[in-house]
Structure 1
Amino acid sequence: MGHSHLHATESSEPSASAMAARRRATVLLSAVLVPLGVVTLLAMVLLWPSGDRSSLDVASPYATAEGVSFERGTVREVGQGDCPSSRPTVDAGGTAMTCTIAYTRPASGGGVIPVEVTPELAKANAVEAGDEIRYLDLAGVIQGGAAPYVFVDFVRSVPIVALAVVYAVVVIAVARWRGLRAIIGLVGALVVLAQFILPGLVDGKPPLLLGLVGSVVIMYGVLYFAHGVSARTSTALLGTVFGLGVTALLAAWATDAAHLTGVGDENAYTLVNGADELSISSIILCGLIISGLGVLNDVTITQSSSVWELYELAPDTSARRLFASAMRIGRDHIASTVYTIAFAYAGAALPVLILVSLYDRALLDTLTSGELAEEVVRTLVGSIGLVLAIPLTTGIAVLVVKSVAPTTGRPRVPAGRHNHAAGGGGGATPAVLAVEGAGTLAPGQRLVALGERRRRPVEEEDA
């Protein structure tokens, strides 16, 4: 009985027909994305903030009065002693209070000075010898009264810069040039955030349009710069734009329906008191749109690449089977990324979670309270937009690859593959490929012909 095999060999380069299909897909997607990009840029120009902050009256915590300055120094020793701030009490015949004092040598030179540490940090033993700190020098305005040197904050420049350098080195070492482009794209995204979105909110621009336009501009830049201009990237970008649209609509509804006012936040109070026309609800709405950008980009680029890989492995697979195969990958991605969003927000809000867990309240009341409502809504809105973006991106990718697929009269053998048949008399029988199922091979499998026309995937050891 004849027994024939089809051996798959690795090929780093796609076939000529696959390259032609990609070029046709790029042209097709450009017909949608180029006008969308032009409209987005026009909207960005119309929404560009004026930069006028004259109406704001926000006091900077780092502003100092005349004779007062922020200084840096290195802690030499930490100990307990009479609080310098209790000197007026002692002068009046009272008893001095005991507090933690960081004996610090100023960076500008001079002798060691006593810096009074706040009770919160003293309780946690956070200040240690060798720490570099910032302190408030009140010696120019206080003579014999309260503490002339008060702890303000730690100097964290060295560890944070070192961590950023390690992060960049790891990303570039693993992802190489694509990793470098991704980091540069991230810097560009932060520029858009700082120069367009934040000043636009201060100017009172429509938050829904501002967040949506800014996010689309960021995605255009980040995706194309990091992943290159290709049909896969364009497909992912189109899916991301759809996902952003869904997220924006959900965020607009949820912000109003859940009454997210942000009044429980100390920073929100500062903004409200500093500018009467500034809307905290608008800031929250814009934040809901921006918060899901990273994960949304991740799932759309993965789904787009999955569809293209499945199509190029089995170009004759029907659109329905291609969609079903890609969605099996997408469902696994949904399961993992939903956890990612939930745990990311839980980690960021951990102190609040601990605090509200100590209250004697029902679980539903706790989750819907002012302290947690914003985080809960952010998690749910981001997750819904993420989940819906996966079938949207998959469907777009399938439509694109099928629209540009070459029309041939018979299935083709992908480049780098050959077949041979060996029978009892040594003759060769040509085989016609007919892949069952979704038309894809699992790892460790290859196609083995049974008879002359019917083939199925079997395990490697069956060969």
Structure 2
Amino acid sequence: MGHGHGHSHAQPAEPASQRVRTLLMWLLVPLALATIVGAVLLYPFGHEQKTGAAVGLHQKPVNAVVTGMQENCGEKCIAVTVRMTSGDANGQTITIPTAHGPGAPHFQIGDEVVLSYSGSQPQAAESYQIVDFQRGWSLVVLALLFTAAVLLLGRWQGLAALGALLLSFVVLVLFVMPSILAGESPLLVAVVGAGLIMFGVLYLTHGVSARTSTAVLGTLVSLALIGVLGALFSVVSKLTGLDEDTINLVTVLGTDIDTRGLLLAGTLIGALGVLDDVTVTQTSAVWELRRANEKLTWRELFAAGSRIGRDHMSSVVNTLVMAYAGAALPLLLAISLAGRSLGEILSAQQIAQEIVRTLVGSIGLVAAVPVTTALAALVAVRQEVAPAEPKPGPEPEKPAAKAKAKPVAKPRRNRIEGDLFIGYDPDKGPWERPSARAARTAAPARQAPPARRRSSGSP
């Protein structure tokens, strides 16, 4: 009875820890199931998306190599001779007039280019136009360098990060894009797609734990806030989402599409990557603070984590603003040439939608810091501190550990002071001996007394 009673008091923190895990499971499992169900309902099973000539795009890409150039076709024209390496006229050489001057690409012999073929007469030069450079090998080399850098620094964690990156591309290419093109609501597709990416990436990269679940919950709350604010201010600001790229998409599809929802979808997906960074960093910071001092209350954990989060938040918000500004830089330059005032430039459709994206995403990032920090503090304070478990293990090896640690803990320190060589021995304590210089100068003096004794002893 006594043994059983003692055993009942051996794990006082386990019920609280178990309750936290259960609560997180009850919160996140339904959301994960809803994400999977939404993906199944929104995925366009059996839908065959028309492409190429079926949607009016008759141009086909053909690879070619530049073999010659002549500047005799006009003042702002250059005749480029290419040999095709693919397509219906593979191996044939043709000469294509190409624009030459400011804003036009510059070609050199040996450049690998891409031609646009109209599909009418494969032997005629008039059916082709130089539209781009081939850059597949350079992108492959860059991807290999990126992979090597991630694996070298992150090891197994880096491998998990690469898997998460691949998963994100798979969700975007195989779910988000086909579903939107099939006519589904872009906003709903983006919400479900973001959920798939978030659950998959975070748990794959950081493992299944209470810490990861807390980061997932903080990300969900921040994404919901971004979605609500984005929908509200896109309506208040009367944003249509009809920029040049979207107009081209609607024209090619030939069907109606929710362009405002497409704008919101881009806002959600664009903010997701930065949100993951903020929530994971805040959760890890709170867990490490808890590990360093297990006596901290949740209020103290929240206060300390918030101080860390403020520095992170300021840099992340600036990163998001610079990312959007960099993407819209050509547009900003083009509009500034129109001679319009700053207010007119900022309120233009194409600029205003970038402002809404930036500010709404930034509000979500700012909110992610206190929300995630509070959740992490509430969960971490009820978790057992991990370093406390391995302490009993090394106790039998304490003498050996001490013996090995002595020279490291108390390193030998030597100095020459006058004619004495002074040092410290970890086993024997301080010691002194004459320096080499003192020994040399003292040698004749040590030999002199015996000589004097022999001379005094002779008659």
Task: Answer yes or no: is the 8 Å Cα contact 1:57–1:274 preserved in 2.
Answer: no
Aligned to 2:237: 258
Letter in 2 for 1:238: L
Aligned to 1:8: none
Aligned to 2:422: none
Q: CA deviation at 1:40?
A: 2.2
Letter in 2 for 1:30: M
TM-score (norm 2): 0.74
Letter in 1 for 2:30: P
Aligned to 1:100: 78
1:137-195 CA-partner distances (Å, limit 9, x unpaired): 57963998x73542122111111111111111111111111111111112112222222
Cα distance between partner residues in 1 of 2:113 and 2:217: 48
Aligned in 2, Cα 1:344/1:137: closer, same or farther, shift over 3 Å?
closer
Aligned to 2:108: 128
Aligned to 1:326: 305
Letter in 1 for 2:372: T
Deviates more, 1:228-237 or 1:28-37: 28-37
**Percent identity among equivalent residues?**
38
Cα distance between partner residues in 1 of 2:118 and 2:32: 54
Cα distance between partner residues in 2 of 1:158 and 1:355: 33
Aligned to 1:421: none
Higher relative contact order (CA 8 A, sep 6+): 1
Q: CA deviation at 1:310?
A: 0.4
Aligned residues: CA RMSD: 3.3
Secondary structure of the equivalent of 1:315? coil
Letter in 2 for 1:134: V
Cα distance between partner residues in 1 of 2:256 and 2:128: 38
Aligned to 1:344: 323
Task: Answer yes or no: is the 8 Å Cα contact 2:73–2:97 preserved in 1.
Answer: no
Aligned to 2:183: 204
Secondary structure of the equivalent of 2:163? helix
Aligned to 2:289: 310
Secondary structure of the equivalent of 1:165? helix
Cα distance between partner residues in 2 of 1:128 and 1:55: 37
Cα distance between partner residues in 1 of 2:26 and 2:136: 47
Q: CA deviation at 1:255?
A: 2.0
Partner of residue 115 from structure 1, selected from 92, 96, 114: 96
Cα distance between partner residues in 2 of 1:205 and 1:232: 34
Q: Identify unmatched segments of 5+ residues in structure 1.
A: 1-15, 84-96, 407-411, 417-463
Deviates more, 1:218-227 or 1:147-156: 147-156
Q: CA deviation at 1:360?
A: 1.7
Aligned to 1:373: 352
Q: CA deviation at 1:106?
A: 2.7
Q: CA deviation at 1:249?
A: 0.8
Aligned to 2:63: 72
Q: CA deviation at 1:55?
A: 8.6
Q: CA deviation at 1:405?
A: 5.5
Aligned in 2, Cα 1:138/1:202: closer, same or farther, shift over 3 Å?
closer
Partner of residue 154 from structure 1, selected from 133, 136, 151: 133
Cα distance between partner residues in 2 of 1:138 and 1:240: 47
Letter in 2 for 1:347: G
Aligned to 1:459: none
Cα distance between partner residues in 1 of 2:213 and 2:58: 47
Task: Answer yes or no: is the 8 Å Cα contact 1:80–1:100 preserved in 2.
Answer: yes
Aligned in 2, Cα 1:288/1:51: closer, same or farther, shift over 3 Å?
farther
Equivalent residue runs for 1:270-419 within 5 Å? 270-272=249-251, 274-404=253-383
Q: CA deviation at 1:98?
A: 6.0
Partner of residue 38 from structure 1, selected from 15, 29, 33: 33
Q: Identify unmatched segments of 5+ residues in structure 2.
A: 1-10, 393-459
1:335-389 CA-partner distances (Å, limit 9, x unpaired): 1001110111111111101112222222122112112112111111111111101
Aligned in 2, Cα 1:139/1:358: closer, same or farther, shift over 3 Å?
closer
Are 1:245 and 2:236 an aligned pair? no
Task: Answer yes or no: is the 8 Å Cα contact 1:56–1:275 preserved in 2.
Answer: no
Cα distance between partner residues in 1 of 2:137 and 2:12: 53
Count of aligned pairs? 378
Aligned in 2, Cα 1:415/1:126: closer, same or farther, shift over 3 Å?
farther
Cα distance between partner residues in 2 of 1:345 and 1:19: 47
